[in-house]
Each structure stands twice: as C-alpha cells, then as structure tokens.
Homo-oligomer: A and B are copies of this chain.
Amino acid sequence: MHVLAVDVMSGDSGPDVVIHAVYNMLAKNDDVKVILVGEKKSFSTLLSENPRVEVENASDVVPMNELPSRAIRRRHSSMRRSVEMVAEGRAHVAVSAGNTGCLLGVSHIVLRSAKGVLRPAFASFIPSGKTDGSCMLDLGANIECSAEMLHQFALMGSALVRSVKGINQPRVGLLNVGEENFKGREELRKASELLQNDKRVNFIGNIEGNDIYFGIADVVVCDGFTGNVVLKTTEGVAKMIRGIIADAFRQDWLSRLCGLAAMPVLSKLQRTMDPRRYNGACLLGLRGLVVKSHGNADVRSFEAALGYAISAVRRNINGVIDEVSLPDTPPAAADEEISSLPLAKGNIT
C-alpha cells in the first residue's frame, strides 16, 4: 500500500474539491491509502465509508497569503501535519495545494535537506513535442539561484529522469537567452562551466525558451523565478489558444458546421491541451517526498496532482535523489531560522 497524506485545508478551493478528487483517485488505484489531514468537523459531512481513508485532525490552517516565516510557526496546521506524516514514516508522500513559499518552508523545517543538497527545488514534467515530457526545475522554490544550486538541480533532475523514464544519460539544458556560453547572467555562465566539467551530467549547453517544448533536453535547469514565469506563461498561451480555437469554430454558421464535423478531433484536442492534466510539482532534495498542487486546483486538476504523487512514490523518487552523489558541499543547516532563507520574502504562490 502507498500512503498519501493529503492536506485538505490549504489552497483556494476548499475541502470539497480535495476530498472529491481523493475519492475519484482511490476508485482508480487499489494500492493507495489516504490520510486526510485537517479540521475534521469542517469536512466530516463530505466523507463516505472507505477503509482506505483515515483522518488526522489538525486544528489550524495556513492562509494563502501567509508569510513562510509565520507559516512554520503554525505547529498544528494541516500543512505541517501532512508533512510530519511523511517525517514520522506514516505516509510516503504529502500533497498540498497551499502557498508555495509556506509549503517549501514547512517541508524544509520538518523534513530537512537530503545530504549535500544546498536547496530543494520544485520539479515537474512538462509536455514537449513528440516526447512524453521534459523534467523542468526549479519551478519556484528559489527566486535567486547560485551556479552551485543550478549545478545540483541538473544532478537531481538527471537522477529523476533516469529513474522515471529509464534514460541512462539524460540530456541537460540550461535555460538562457542564447546558445553561446558567454550569454546570460553571471551565475548562468558559471553554472555552464560547472556543468561542462561534471562528467556525471550529459550537458548539452544553453537552451532557449522555444527549445523547451521540442524535446531537445530531458532536463531543463533554471532558477525558480524564470521557471515559474515560464510555467505560467505556458498555461496562459495554451489557454489563449484554446480560446482562439473555440472562437474560430463559433464565428458564423459555416464555422459552426466545420466545428460540428470536426468535433471528435476537437474534443480530443481540448483534452490534450487541458492544463489541469499537468498539475503537480515534486519538491526534490528533501529527506521525504512532498508534492505541491496549484492553489486554485479544481477536482480534475487536484486529481492530477494526486496521480503525480502516486507515481513519485511508485518510482521511489526520493530514494533516487539520495543515491545522487552530490558535490561535496556542506549541507544547509536544516533547522536554521526560515527568515535567513532567501525564500522567506521572495516566495511564490
């Protein structure tokens, strides 16, 4: 049995969406158990009889606009309790739709960094051309990244792709504004050098924004600011194009007729392009597994994040990262005050 600790309370959507998604997921996965974490009285009416569902009471909630430095002090929050379930060995993974910076801060305090890891990073698989997706990281855990952090992201991303996709030498690209290695900011130039000199990494050099979606790299490395902007831009463009397509087939009677005729293909297209299918990012580099869902996920979308969490557990993603022999840097002091972390003020939602 794989056990998921699900934070029922955090996020914009409320327990209704989360619990609905959990039951949908359970119906499709026989080998999964769920611990619903939150204030039981606020969702007890939503529960139905299921031996694979357990409730862990948590009296507090981290609001979506909370500062990470304050979030970690809420010791009885559903977010913290969910992550603690993993630390205590009661769950294999925690899933939360809470504020990114807060989830990062809480996870870091509770689970601590894996050996040698400077900073954890959010990673996800993004659709790319004809391949079934590239791993992109960091997607928002670290607003500013040193060359050494970017180097580690490459190692962690490579380990992930090796395990999940069975690719022996995953191609790593560094997201930049030009292919030449003198391009971009100082830390990117330095990271490029580190990657070139590390034989464990199959570094293909700098890649640009338009390369992300063409399967040129199996791992796309960038800082969390850029990764977050890219991810959200992608969502925006896809949504705009879905709108353009829908409008095009609605313009006049001829277009509507075309639309009717093409309905089988169009419906399939809209499903393929549905951004909700790609919800879920894994926090890599901690001594335990945490998956973050979009804050405003709907049922379909939260179900995708749960699915992502299950596959992360099945693939033993964390074990994989532990195996990475990261550069011999002193591990970040895991119990340091969160306010000293760069994410304290610069986190993302």
Contacts and interface: CB of A to CB of B under 8 A. Distances in A.
A240 interface: yes
Contact of A129 (B209, B214, B240): B240
Given A265-B255, A265-B259, A346-B185, A175 B241 contact: no
Nearest to A225: B177
A239 interface: yes
A183 B67 CA distance: 10
**A: contact size bracket:** 35 or more
Contacts of A59: none
Interface in A226-242: 226, 228-241
A44 interface: no
A184 B143 contact: yes
A213 interface: yes
B269 A248 contact: yes
Contact of A213 (B208, B237, B254): B237
Contacts of A208: 229, 232
A180 B67 CA distance: 11
A209 to B, nearest CB: 3
Contact of A235 (B127, B210, B231): B210
25 contacts: A67-B182, A128-B240, A129-B240, A140-B177, A183-B346, A208-B229, A209-B229, A209-B230, A209-B232, A209-B233, A210-B232, A210-B233, A210-B235, A211-B236, A213-B240, A214-B240, A225-B226, A237-B237, A237-B241, A238-B241, A241-B241, A241-B273, A248-B265, A251-B265, A258-B263
Interface of A: 65, 67, 127-129, 140, 143-144, 175, 177-180, 182-185, 189, 208-214, 224-226, 228-241, 243-245, 248-249, 251, 254-255, 257-259, 261-266, 268-269, 272-273, 345-349
